Amino acid sequence: MASLVTYLAVGLAFYWIIKYMIYDEVESRLKVEKRDFETYIRQHDTWTNNSYFVENKIEVYPITGNFKNEVIFKDTVITNRYEGNEDPFRQLTFYTLIGGIPYRVAIRKSMIQSYKLIEAISAALITFLGLLMVCMYVFHRRLSDKLWQPFYDTLVKIKDFDWTQNKKLELASSEITEFNELGDVLEKMSGKMQYDYKSLREFTENASHEIQTPLALINARVEQFIQAKDLGKDHTYWIEEIYHASRRMSRLNQGLLLLAKIENQQFTDQEEIDLSGQVESKLRDFEDILSHKQIKVTMRSQGIFRKVMSLSLADILLTNLLNNAIKHNLHGGEITIETGNRHLLISNTGHPLKADPESLFDRFKKESTGAESLGLGLAIVKQICDNYGLALDYQNRENIHSIKIS
């Protein structure tokens, strides 16, 4: 499109330039003739109107009354005496005195040759430019097909590249230096990505190990300590506090590590999971606590919600959602689980929400100030949903809180 516009613009420009140059030439010749005419008049002070020839025709007319002494160029058309054609002429009109009488003098020059010239040049130009354009187009097509082939190959390979796998990115070398350089840079970058991912993963695991081991030691020592028979009331209280704090810390550590692992997409196993069935079997694990809190559970199934995801993550997702629905429930409250082909909705009765619903899924945002709550459960839920492109929606109507996954 752009080349077509350029093509037209260049064609027009050429046409105007040639036309301007021809006019300039004709006009300068007309001016020379005018000077010859004036020299002749000055010497002879007379003119015989001999207007037989078409070319170089000079017309002299006497005029009466006022006239403006001006020199005018204009295009005109004169009928050919023999063929009856109308031929284009360029005419120079000026006024002069011959023998004391004012005359209007018109000198003409035929443009017929010049027009033919313009036409020929324009036609040649348009043809050549058109040919050039077609050639350029074909050449470009072939060039991009052949020249860019290695680039497209690279692109396909990058799209398929998965840095969580150990398979290295290997690009075929091409004849083009730039693509080879690009390939080298990409290979280096992908190598670094895989290395960083691996070390991050190792770090996560090592950090987990390094922190859990001293915590295990604290726990073990406290457990041994409480076996002592002569503990005072104060001591038991302190020990209990230490014990609680270390349990809490280890759970916090585990929660944060889990979040980091989900964020790093380290759960790569995938299978199709029937979330509706999964939630039902999960409920059995919660039987005791449900009967303890006298919570009534209603299942409403309108379909089976299937999703391809990691089994461990699906399990964590449902555990956290159910845990949340139980923890924030009232004694003797209700839980409604609704499953459809495209969604899972868990709603529970509970106290009205005090915090901002937007921040409900943020880390360490907790509704209850109870020390038992870590404030990570729903953040983990959100992270899992984000990983699998599931929409997470919270709604609160009166005392019913609903979380919908779709």
Partner 1 sequence: MKILVVEDEKGLAESIVDYLTKEGFICEVANTFWQADEKVSLYKYDCTIVDLTLPDGEGFGIIQTLKKIAATTGIIIISARNTLEDKIKGLEIGSDDYITKPFHLSELNARVKSLIRRRHFGGNNDMIWREIRVQLPSRKVFINEKEALISRKEYDLLLYFLSNIDVVLTKESIAEHLWGDHIDSSDSLDMVYSHIKNLRRKILDKGGKDYIQSVYGIGYKFSAS
CA 267 to chain centre: 29
Q: 334-339 and 344-349: which strand pairing?
A: antiparallel
Residues 345-364, interacting with partner 1 (CB under 8 A): none
237 binds partner 1 (CB under 8 A): yes
Pick the binder of partner 1 from 219, 387, 402, 406 (CB under 8 A).
Answer: 219
Pick the binder of partner 1 from 289, 330, 392, 400 (CB under 8 A).
Answer: 289
Contact status, residue 295 vs residue 333, Cβ threshold 8 Å: yes
Tell me, by CB under 8 A, how many residues bind partner 1. 47
Task: Pick the closer one to partner 1 by CB: 66 or 166.
Answer: 166
213 binds partner 1 (CB under 8 A): yes
Minimum Å gap between C-beta 236 and partner 1 is 5
CA Rg, the chain, in Å? Answer: 48
In this chain, which stretch among 127-135, 150-158, 205-213, 382-390 interacts with partner 1, using CB under 8 A? 205-213
- Take residue 88 and report the two structure tokens written for it: 């284009």
370 binds partner 1 (CB under 8 A): yes
Minimum Å gap between C-beta 244 and partner 1 is 8
Pick the binder of partner 1 from 35, 142, 221, 342 (CB under 8 A).
Answer: 221
Residue type, 212: Q
Pick the binder of partner 1 from 68, 146, 233, 354 (CB under 8 A).
Answer: 233
What's the maximum distance between 2 C-alpha atoms anywhere in the chain?
151
- How many CA atoms does the CB half-sphere of 387 hold within 13 Å? 24
In this chain, which stretch among 5-13, 166-174, 191-199, 201-209 interacts with partner 1, using CB under 8 A? 201-209
Minimum Å gap between C-beta 376 and partner 1 is 10
CA 271 to chain centre: 32
218 binds partner 1 (CB under 8 A): yes
372 binds partner 1 (CB under 8 A): yes
Task: Pick the closer one to partner 1 by CB: 63 or 226.
Answer: 226
Binding mask 297-336 for partner 1 (x = CB under 8 A): --------------xx------x---x--xx---------
Task: Pick the closer one to partner 1 by CB: 98 or 289.
Answer: 289
* Spatial separation of the C-alpha atoms in residues 240 and 220, rounded to whole Å: 13
Residue type, 345: L
Phi and psi for 271 in degrees, rounded to 5?
-155, 160
Contact status, residue 259 vs residue 363, Cβ threshold 8 Å: yes
Minimum Å gap between C-beta 280 and partner 1 is 16
Minimum Å gap between C-beta 319 and partner 1 is 5
236 binds partner 1 (CB under 8 A): yes
Task: Pick the closer one to partner 1 by CB: 171 or 376.
Answer: 376
Residues 247-276, interacting with partner 1 (CB under 8 A): 247, 250-251, 254, 261, 269
Minimum Å gap between C-beta 204 and partner 1 is 10
Task: Pick the closer one to partner 1 by CB: 164 or 180.
Answer: 164
Minimum Å gap between C-beta 233 and partner 1 is 7
What residues line the site for partner 1 (CB under 8 A)?
205, 208-209, 211-221, 223-224, 226-227, 233, 236-237, 239-240, 243, 246-247, 250-251, 254, 261, 269, 285-286, 288-289, 292-293, 311-312, 319, 323, 326-327, 370, 372-374
